[in-house]
Amino acid sequence: MADNIEVRRARVDEREEVIRVADTAFSANHRKHDFATEYPYVWSDERMADNWLALIDGQIAGIVGSYPFTVRMAGVDFRAAGIGQVCTLPDFRGRGSMSRLLKAVTADLDGGEYDFAWLWGDRQRYGRHGWTPGGQTVHLETFRRYLPEPPDGTSVELLDLERDLPRIRAEIDSQPYAVGFTDRELAQRLGCPNLTGAVCRGDGGRDAWAVYEPGNQPNVLLAGGDEDALLKLLAYLAAETEAAEGDNWKLSIHTGPHDSTLMRVARRCYWRVQTASAACFRLCDPAGYFSRAAKVAARGPVAAGSDELSIRNVDNGLEVRLRCEGGEFSVEPKAGKNPVEMTAVQLSEAVFDLLPPEVRMPALAADSPLRALFEVPAHVSHLFAL
């Protein structure tokens, strides 16, 4: 007989127990975890109810965090949810609790309040629930020999949140891609042990800063300041990594598909560049998503002609009707005649996959102006890890 599984949102008074379950579940598979320290921003009083629980015989068996955020993509604000803390205690695995949890969470996501959801996870595991790898992250790798002489160590110091948070916030606010962390959440993220930063005091009062994930292959996620000083700061990080790791090292710069201080500096020193999926994405409310995608598409040139396409998600019944007439897009939450029927994962692939539109959405003609709605370059930086 199947277990009697209760699924509900977590309460504030359950915080310590929920964190203990996450620590235990993840530590059973990998290294030891301390989620209270590593991800403090998902356990606040305001966020506790965003954690969904599966209980068996009154005991928490599994967790899925579904955290609402405004996500800016290509300069337009989308309604999104970040998924994290997906885990089941070892003693309860194989009893259906995670399937029940994800079914409840995806039903909530499809309720009309979210355009899409993202997570960092395995395609095969989450594909059955509608997620697919997608979006764009640009990885630029470099080595010490492609960088200038590093500055003296006395000119480099760790970021001071009280002093430096405003300029980090300003850099994020200037980006066309960002997750809407509050100042408190951002400060907590920047203070996490798996993220760090440094300041380079350059000549003539110039300065630069970079936020990065440490390790034998540091991942630089965000940076700002004077470009020449930033290049020297990257050289310092490379030299420090090389000294600590020997031959087994490289410096990796991760950024979105847009112009930024970090992108401009990375282009001056990179050895190799690759475009990769940014995360796994799941389309939720198709009408909501395409309404905002239309705002992105309208900023660029729109292909001549008119076209119409209706889509029906066979997994949840959600529909959308897309039209373009005279360069103007319109989106309706009800399909017209002969809608294209797609599963949740097929629809997510059509919108977010890195493959070209003719592969992921063959129903669209090559010259259709509606193709622009399927070409919004999604990006979520791992700076906003959940």
HEC secondary structure over 317-345: CCEEEEEEECCEEEEECCCCCCCEEECHH
Burial of residue 367 (number of CB atoms within 10 Å: 0-12, 13-18, 19+) = exposed
The DSSP result for 88-151, as a single string, is E-GGGTTSSHHHHHHHHHHHHHTTTT-SEEEE-S-HHHHGGGT-EEES-EEEEEE-GGGS-PPP
In whole angstroms, give the CA distance from residue 172 to residue 167: 9
| Domain at 138-276, CATH homologous superfamily | Gcn5-related N-acetyltransferase (GNAT) (3.40.630.30)
Asked, colleague to colleague, whether 5-109 and 280-374 share their fold, the answer is no
**pLDDT for the residue numbered 11:** 98
In which residue ranges of the chain is pLDDT below 70? 1-2, 29-30, 202-206
pLDDT of residue 205: 55
pTM of the model: 0.95
Pick 5-109's CATH classification: 3.40.50.300, 3.40.50.1010, 3.90.1070.10, 3.40.630.30: 3.40.630.30
Helix (H, G, I), strand (E, B), or coil: what is residue 175?
coil
Please enumerate in sequence order all residues whose Cβ is within 8 A of that of 332, keeping only pairs 6 or more positions apart, or say none: 287, 320, 321, 323
CATH class assigned to 280-374:
alpha beta
* Residue ranges of domains in the chain: 5-109, 138-276, 280-374
What pLDDT score was predicted for residue 3? Answer: 73
Q: How many CB atoms are closer than 10 A to CB 270?
A: 18
How many whole angstroms separate alpha carbon 213 and alpha carbon 71? 22
Tell me if residue 84 falls in helix, strand or coil.
strand
Nearest to 287 by CA among 237, 255, 329: 329
Task: Give 41-98 pLDDT, tens digit per residue.
Answer: 999 999 999 999 999 999 999 999 999 999 999 999 999 999 999 999 999 999 999 9
The reported pLDDT for the residue numbered 2 is 54
Question: What pLDDT was estimated at residue 30?
Answer: 67
CA atoms within 13 A on the CB side of 154: 1
DSSP, collapsed to helix, strand or coil, labels residue 275 as strand
Whole-number Å distance between alpha carbons of 3 and 159: 50
What does the alpha-carbon distance between residue 326 and residue 304 come to, in Å, rounded to a whole number?
7
Torsion of CA 260, 264, 269, 272, to 10 degrees: 70
Asked whether the beta carbons of 212 and 190 are under 8 A apart, the reply is no
